[in-house]
Amino acid sequence: MIRANTSREHTNREYEQELRRLREQLLLMGAKVEEIIHGSIRALIDRDSTLAEQMIGVDRKINQLEIAIDELCMQVLARRQPVASDLRFLTTALKLVTDLERIGDLGVNICERVLELNGEPPLKPYIDLPNMTREVQEMLHEALDAFVAADVERAQRVIARDKNVDAYYTQIFRELLTYMMEDPRNIFRATRLQSIAKYLERIGDHATNLGELVIFMVKGKDIRHAGKLSDAG
């Protein structure tokens, strides 16, 4: 009788290699995405335009990885016809890259706003924005860790944190509104900062998606749009 954990490797070594490479590429892409978020916020706080421009270069690498991973997934699907956990891993990978690529784009958007802001004097010291960024970065990091470890509980914790990010956004938006009401000359900078907060909020949503995808990958259970599909048909 074969036991559950006797051998989790494929009999076919080449197939095993392909899946391993796919996993590595995904992690590399995840690392690049973390780098761009980190760098773009650093560029904001330090008013570092050079760094902001560098991060736009990182996004190009992220886009290349997206294409490479998609291609690898297509190859594996065509040649190996994966089933069960392998199939869920492959379809998860295909969706994961889309969320990661969007996060990269949002990082670029932050950098673009930073470049605009750096042409102006600072509006105010940043307090909530760095805290919000930290929350979002941790969510992203945890989601990637949950993916690596196939850890459902960790993925669930990521999903639970999204409401913190939403709360930060509401808070920051309200504060910026007071600045804008105080003096119309603040509007240009306040709307840039508001956009950055919105980008971070969107990154939180994408990290939540990653968590949901990990749960699907591990358990084969789709938890997206829970309870919101009842009128779908």
- For residues 140 and 163, give the distance between their C-alpha atoms in angstroms, rounded to a whole number: 14
Binding of other proteins at residue 84 (CB under 8 A)?
yes
Binding of other proteins at residue 232 (CB under 8 A)?
yes
Options 29-37, 86-94, 118-126, 136-144: segment touching other proteins (CB under 8 A): 86-94
Show the site string, 189-228: x = touches other proteins by CB under 8 A, - = not: ------------------------------xx--------
Task: List strand residue ranges (DSSP E) for the chain, in order.
Answer: none
Nearer to other proteins, 7 or 50 (CB): 7
- For residues 68 and 62, give the distance between their C-alpha atoms in angstroms, rounded to a whole number: 10
Q: Cα angle vertex 11, ends 8, 14, to 5°? A: 105
Size of the site for other proteins (CB under 8 A): 26
How far from 8 is each of 16, 24, 85, CA to CA, in Å? 10, 18, 11
Nearer to other proteins, 76 or 200 (CB): 76
Nearest to 207 by CA among 127, 113, 102, 111: 102
Which one of 34, 48, 86, 175 is in contact with other proteins (CB under 8 A)? 86
Task: Tell me the H-state helices in 46-186.
Answer: 49-80, 84-117, 128-149, 152-182
Least distance to other proteins, CB of residue 88, Å: 7
Taking CB under 8 A as the criterion, which residues in 94-153 touch other proteins? Answer: none
Binding of other proteins at residue 75 (CB under 8 A)?
no
Taking CB under 8 A as the criterion, which residues in 1-30 touch other proteins? Answer: 1-2, 4-12, 15
Nearer to other proteins, 46 or 222 (CB): 222
Q: Cα angle vertex 182, ends 196, 49, to 5°? A: 35
Which uninterrupted H or E stretch holds 30? helix 13-45
| Residue 144 neighbours by CB distance under 10 Å | 23
Binding of other proteins at residue 78 (CB under 8 A)?
no
Q: What is the DSSP letter of 98?
A: H
Options 57-65, 76-84, 182-190, 201-209: segment touching other proteins (CB under 8 A): 76-84
Site residues (vs other proteins, CB under 8 A): 1-2, 4-12, 15, 81-88, 219-220, 229-230, 232-233
